[in-house]
Structure 1
């Protein structure tokens, strides 16, 4: 198994979830947008200081290595 970096691979996606209330930001290919969402969430909810980063990374099987 290896990360799929081929031209037809699904995109790498980043998101974040507030560990206090469970709200999640939008998933997208821009990791910076995840940080911006966390900061905006913190500004609107000052007590929510714990977050989880969620990364969705496509993988593919390499047939010769699966044996």
Structure 2
């Protein structure tokens, strides 16, 4: 016998959830900067990468946010 259950996906805000992490990436060469909580470290890495590679002018921010599945009613 099988039973189906509904689930909702939502951000994991529980006290034991993984922290939200931020990583910078050069959009020209794909190199990744360090990953950390908050995001203040990103611009420092981007500026250092830009100094080393003056023609690398575009960057992206990669955010890793934990989610969880919350069980709902049985169908």
State the TM-score, normalized to the length of structure 1.
0.87
Whose Rg is larger? 2
Q: 1:46 aligns with which of 54, 71, 74?
A: 54
* 1:24 is the counterpart of 2:29: no
Q: Tell me the matched-pair count.
A: 66
Q: Which has the higher strand share?
A: 2
CA distance in 1, matches of 2:13, 2:54: 38
Unaligned runs of 5+ in 1: none
RMSD over equivalenced CA pairs, Å: 1.5
Q: Deviations over 1:1-52 (max 9, x none)?
A: 1111111101100001111111110111030101211111112211100112
Q: TM-score, normalised by structure 2?
A: 0.78
* Contiguous gaps of at least 5 residues in structure 2: 1-8
Q: Which runs of 4+ in 1 moved over 4 A?
A: none
